[in-house]
Structure 1
Amino acid sequence: MKVVIIEDEAFASKRLKKVLEELVPDIEVQAQLASVESSLNWLGNNPVPDLIFLDIQLNDGYGFDILDKLKKHPPVIFTTAYNEYAIKGFKYNSIDYILKPIDKKDLAIAMNKYRDNSKNKSFDIIPKLEEFKTLLSKDYKRRFMVKVGNHFNSVKVENIAYFFSDAGIIFLKDHKGNKFPLEYSLDQLEEILNPLDFFRINRKYLVQLNAVGEIHQYFNSRLLLKLNPDEDDKIIVSRERCSDFKKWLDL
């Protein structure tokens, strides 16, 4: 199976390639492209791959721009951090639409869909609209139960500024500066919180949009943040997440 990955984040592209090679031993990733321009150039000068993994927001445009300029494109699996493009993706007869961070199980399901369509020679069959309705109406976490002394309180998600890891413990900090320990990992929190509202800026912090105050350029192509409420730590957006972070802010 010959595939092409179109993803402008090098870290995300490498991770997707690694997981694909684990799931599909005979897969051949022919190219890892990072822009609309380079993708159109490659696709216009090489045999059509069996499948394209396509990020929707790229540095110089949208993945849809690539498909619009191709007379005929192979099956597509969209990969994106934003679920509001699902209906538009539906119009391109995609195999699947996977939200970032990409889960290995979700990727395996998408590959099974591809194989089923391949057997039936049904690449042009439009995916069921209900799948996209489910995606758009995903029931994200709305509140967390926290312990305060000898009793418990419920904290609404909209009152949370950020989550962070400290000495192996995950804490929730609300907009008033109160912090509470949680029995979740940051990876788990990413899965249950709305990605439109929360963003994982590095291995230690998952921040809410309204908690982001000042943003400064930092060395090594990173960003330095001032959060509200403030933290003693230097809050740095990791280099591999900066591009997606900027897109998230500009949504």
Structure 2
Amino acid sequence: MQILIIEDEPRAANQLRSKLAACNFEYQLLDIIDTVEDAVLWFEKHTAPDLIFMDIQLADGLSFEIFRKTDIEVPIIFTTAFDQYAIQAFKVNSIDYLLKPIQQDELHHALTKFTKTNTTPSFDPSILKKLLDSMQTTTNSREGILVKEGNGFAQIKIRDLLYFYSEDSITFGVTSVKRYIINETMDQLFSSLEPNQFFRINRGQIISKNAIQKIEAYFNHRIKLSVLNPRDQEFIVSRQKTSDFKEWLNR
């Protein structure tokens, strides 16, 4: 069986490959893609695989954008860090999903389901809209975040966070005076933040509008940002996100 992995976190993609091997699942991996843009280009140039593993939050936006730009008529197993409320829409639409971190038995069950059926799930736009609406509802309700502080924990107001970044698989949140460790992945974190206030400028950084001090053109059609309390971080908006970033600034 030929499979395609659409996932923007290399560690998650490698873990999925290891778990597939542990399932004794015979497959040929065609490619690993990390952006909506590259996925659309891939489908334009290649024959569709037998099965796709697709993350929801990619480096340049939600993977649902892929369906708006190209036709996909093969089974998909979504992988997601979103909560149970957000993914109820998948059950209505007969699309399977795996909640991160992926469990071996759940992966095995999903593979068994797809190898025993020849049916192809259809994508109902109204169901996808419900999913996006549920994500938005979750996003708008979050006001605080639990962080590690000393031997315990503390709650920080979301409005006090200037930016988030990932380093060595650890997520950090930075205020004007301090850096905190956050026990969430970048995908989990970004899915819960107010989209008009925070923007994921690349795979490893999420920025608040309140943090931006200066915006400069950068080589290869990218944008460089000067921010408050940078802590030796360099903030470069990826080429794929430059257009969306400019639009976000105008909201």
Question: What's the TM-score, normalizing by structure 2?
Answer: 0.56
Q: Does 1:235 align with 2:234?
A: yes
Q: Secondary structure at the match of 1:19?
A: helix
Matched residue, 2:160 = 159
1:119 to 116, 120, 142: 116
**Contact 2:148 / 2:182 at 8 angstroms: preserved in 1?**
no
Matched residue, 1:39 = 43
Q: Does 1:143 align with 2:164?
A: no
Q: Does 1:24 align with 2:28?
A: no
Counterpart amino acid of residue 96 in structure 1: Y
Matched residue, 2:66 = 63
Q: Secondary structure at the match of 1:24?
A: helix
Spell out the pairing of 1:1-251 with structure 2 (5 A cutoff): 1-5=1-5, 12=8, 17-25=13-21, 26-32=26-32, 34-43=38-47, 48-54=48-54, 62-65=65-68, 67-68=70-71, 73-78=73-78, 94-96=95-97, 103-105=100-102, 109=106, 112-119=109-116, 123-124=120-121, 132=131, 136=135, 137-138=137-138, 141-144=142-145, 155-163=156-164, 170=172, 172-173=174-175, 177=176, 179-184=177-182, 187-188=184-185, 191-192=188-189, 194-195=192-193, 196=195, 197=198, 199=200, 201=202, 206-219=206-219, 223-227=223-227, 229=228, 231=230, 233=232, 235-237=234-236, 242-244=239-241, 247=244, 250=247
Q: CA deviation at 1:162?
A: 2.1
Q: Secondary structure at the match of 1:3?
A: strand
Unpaired stretches in structure 2, ≥5 consecutive residues: none
Q: CA deviation at 1:132?
A: 4.3
**Contact 2:201 / 2:245 at 8 angstroms: preserved in 1?**
no
Q: CA deviation at 1:80?
A: 8.3
Q: 1:232 and 1:95, CA in 2 relative to 1: closer, same or farther beyond 3 A?
A: closer
* Cα separation, 1, equivalents of 2:163 and 2:67: 33
CA deviation vs aligned residue, 1:179-225 (integer Å, no higher than 9, x gap): 2453535x55653452533537475x542244334333435776421
Amino-acid identity (%): 18
Q: 1:23 and 1:64, CA in 2 relative to 1: closer, same or farther beyond 3 A?
A: same
**Contact 1:77 / 1:94 at 8 angstroms: preserved in 2?**
yes
Unpaired stretches in structure 1, ≥5 consecutive residues: none
**Contact 1:161 / 1:207 at 8 angstroms: preserved in 2?**
yes
Q: CA deviation at 1:42?
A: 1.2
Q: Secondary structure at the match of 1:49?
A: coil
Aligned length: 219
Q: 1:191 and 1:13, CA in 2 relative to 1: closer, same or farther beyond 3 A?
A: closer
Counterpart amino acid of residue 95 in structure 2: S
Q: CA deviation at 1:64?
A: 0.8
* Cα separation, 2, equivalents of 1:18 and 1:225: 31
* Cα separation, 1, equivalents of 2:241 and 2:104: 20
* Cα separation, 1, equivalents of 2:46 and 2:94: 22
**CA RMSD between the two structures:** 5.3
Q: Secondary structure at the match of 1:112?
A: helix
